[in-house]
Amino acid sequence: MDASGLPLLDRRIADCRACPRLVSWREEVARAKRAAFADWTYWGRPVSGFGPADARLLIVGLAPAAHGGNRTGRMFTGDRSGDVLFEALYDVGLASQPTAVHAHDALELYGVRVTSPVHCAPPANKPTPEERDTCRPWLVQELRLLRPTLRAVVVLGAFGWQAALPAFAEAGWPVPRPRPAFSHGARFRLDGLELFGCFHVSQRNTFTGRLTPTMLRDVLRAAGRAAELPTRSG
Residues contacting 122, CB < 8 A, separation 6+: 21, 22, 25, 63, 128, 131
pLDDT at 4: 59
- Residues 106-135: what's their mean pLDDT? 97
Tens of pLDDT along 152-162?
999 999 999 99
- Residues 187-194: what's their mean pLDDT? 93
d(CA 88, CA 124): 25
pLDDT at 233: 84
- Residues 95-104: what's their mean pLDDT? 97
Q: Check: CB of residue 72 under 8 Å from CB of residue 33.
A: no
Percentage with pLDDT > 70 across the chain: 98
Percentage with pLDDT > 90 across the chain: 96
Residues contacting 54, CB < 8 A, separation 6+: 3, 111, 148, 149
d(CA 228, CA 107): 21
Q: Which residues pair with 196 in a beta bridge?
A: 154, 187
pLDDT at 34: 96
- Residues 23-30: what's their mean pLDDT? 98
- Residues 207-225: what's their mean pLDDT? 98
Arithmetic mean of pLDDT over the chain: 96
> Residue 216, CB half-sphere, CA atoms under 13 Å: how many?
26
- Residues 144-169: what's their mean pLDDT? 96
143 φ/ψ angles, rounded to the nearest 5 degrees: -65, -40
Is the pLDDT score of 3 beyond 70? Answer: no
d(CA 189, CA 196): 9
